[in-house]
């Protein structure tokens, strides 16, 4: 720390002795220059080495205890931050995954409901266990009331869907007309009337055969009836969807 002192506080002593020395010992000039060069080389060397050391992180080996503690604390808080970030991202990922699952489940449920409603409404064909009833009416004595009875008895016995003489029965199906001129939903049908219903075949045929029931009425009218339960019947007549003209879905009170 002498250079600054030499330049500021005691510049006095130097000039005259220096000139004297210069004359007395000119050989010292190159020696001093060499010394200065060596010192500067040392400085450059140390500078380069230090820059390398800082750059390459190996400085940690010689760092002080308190510095190491500080670095460690920094790294730990950084690690904590990154950990919590990982947790957040994982939560988000799980949410997205479960959202995808529940969306798929909702789609599946909606599809199932749509199928059930379509079967009930008669917009798609259906198959399953059930029975086939054939009412042959050679003398045109079976009127629409008997067929209506049959439909209602079958429904009451748990038939899920059915068709009468090739016409699918839905919620708004109407059976009208006199014997020999029966119309179902405005479509004229002719004997023999074949009713196909899906449900528990045994229960359905029992419902047809109760005393005073459909079978009795058909026989009283002078026609014949043939009831055949089967493990597999197909209801393939379709009816257009009854689009509601006035009714709209009411808002869900839970919302």
Binding site for another protein (CB under 8 A): 1-7, 11, 14-15, 18, 22, 28-29, 32-50, 52-54, 58-59, 61-64, 66-67
Q: Output 70 or 81, the one with its CB closest to another protein.
A: 70
Q: Which of 146, 238, 134, 233 is nearest to 192 (CA)?
A: 134
Minimum CB separation of residue 26 from another protein in Å reads: 9
Name residue, tokens 């399953």.
Answer: 128
Task: Name the minimum Å distance from CB 89 to another protein.
Answer: 38
CB of 55 or CB of 248, closer to another protein: 55
3-state helix, strand, coil in the chain (%, to 5): 55, 15, 30
When the beta carbons of 4 and 231 are compared against another protein, the nearer one is 4
Tell me which residue of 130, 126, 128, 107 sits closest to 118, measured CA to CA. Answer: 126
Q: How far is the CB of 95 from another protein (least distance, A)?
A: 47
Q: How far is the CB of 44 from another protein (least distance, A)?
A: 3
From the CB of 68, what's the least distance to another protein, in Å?
11
Of 245, 123, 119, 237, the C-alpha closest to 187 is 237
Find the helix or strand (DSSP H, E) in which 171 lies: none
Q: Quick check: helix, strand or coil at residue 221?
A: coil
**H or E segment and range at residue 233:** strand 224-235
């Amino acid at each position: 720390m002498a250079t600054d002192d030499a330049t500021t506080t005691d510049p006095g002593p130097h000039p005259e002795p220096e000139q004297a020395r210069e004359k007395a010992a000119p050989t010292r000039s190159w020696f001093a220059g060499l010394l200065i060069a060596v010192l500067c080389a040392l400085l450059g060397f140390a500078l380069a080495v230090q820059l390398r050391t800082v750059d390459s992180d190996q400085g940690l080996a010689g760092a002080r205890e308190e510095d190491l503690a500080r670095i460690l604390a920094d790294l730990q808080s950084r690690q904590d931050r990154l950990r919590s970030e990982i947790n957040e991202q994982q939560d988000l990922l799980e949410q997205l995954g479960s959202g995808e699952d529940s969306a798929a489940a909702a789609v599946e449920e909606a599809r199932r409901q749509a199928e059930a409603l379509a079967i009930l409404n008669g917009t798609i064909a259906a198959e399953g266990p059930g029975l086939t009833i054939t009412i042959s009416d050679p003398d045109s004595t079976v009127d629409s009331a008997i067929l209506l009875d049959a439909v209602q008895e079958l429904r009451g016995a748990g038939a899920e869907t059915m068709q009468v003489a090739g016409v699918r029965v839905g919620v708004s199906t109407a059976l009208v007309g006199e014997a020999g001129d029966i119309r179902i939903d405005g479509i004229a049908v002719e004997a023999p009337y074949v009713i196909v219903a899906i449900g528990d075949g045994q229960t359905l045929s029992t419902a047809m055969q109760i005393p005073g029931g459909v079978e009795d009425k058909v026989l009283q009218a002078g026609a014949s009836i043939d009831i055949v339960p089967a493990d597999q019947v197909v209801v393939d007549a379709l009816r257009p969807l009854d689009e509601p003209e006035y009714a709209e879905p009411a808002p869900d009170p839970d919302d």
